[in-house]
Homo-oligomer: A and B are copies of this chain.
């Protein structure tokens, strides 16, 4: 973790410093695990990290993932009854096409749409830091 995610680690420590928060073993551990994924739920991470640290509590994972959201490293997305925490770095400019029948997810990128989003934001006096675009429907297989 230490050598591969220097940038994200810096983003986190800067956020911590700015808000009088502390860097803990658990936060480092969770950050390392989080950055390895594109998106994950708190529950999934709980099971995944049980091997590394059997005493790591679920509440700590929720708290930490929410902290990552505050720090701008993660983004919470409510899907069904659960919350997915998206890795901002991995996400980049990928938007999603999601099949509501088989749950298949196709990533896409569209520069024209991004541009129009900027236009909309500017017209309303907003400065965009991130966005989320999800198209729900049926994939070709499930339509039949």
Contact = CB atoms under 8 A, between A and B. Distances in A.
A120 B108 contact: yes
A103 B63 CA distance: 20
B78 A97 contact: no
Contact of A97 (B120, B137, B140): B120
Interface in A60-101: 75, 78-81, 97, 99-100
A10 interface: no
Contact of A130 (B117, B133, B137): B137
A105 to B, nearest CB: 11
Interface of A is mostly: strand
B139 A126 contact: yes
A19 interface: no
Contacts of A100: 129
Interface of A: 75, 78-81, 97, 99-100, 106, 108, 110, 112-113, 116-117, 120-121, 124-140, 143
Given A131-B134, A132-B133, 10 more contacts: A97-B120, A108-B120, A120-B135, A121-B137, A124-B139, A125-B139, A128-B135, A131-B133, A131-B135, A133-B133
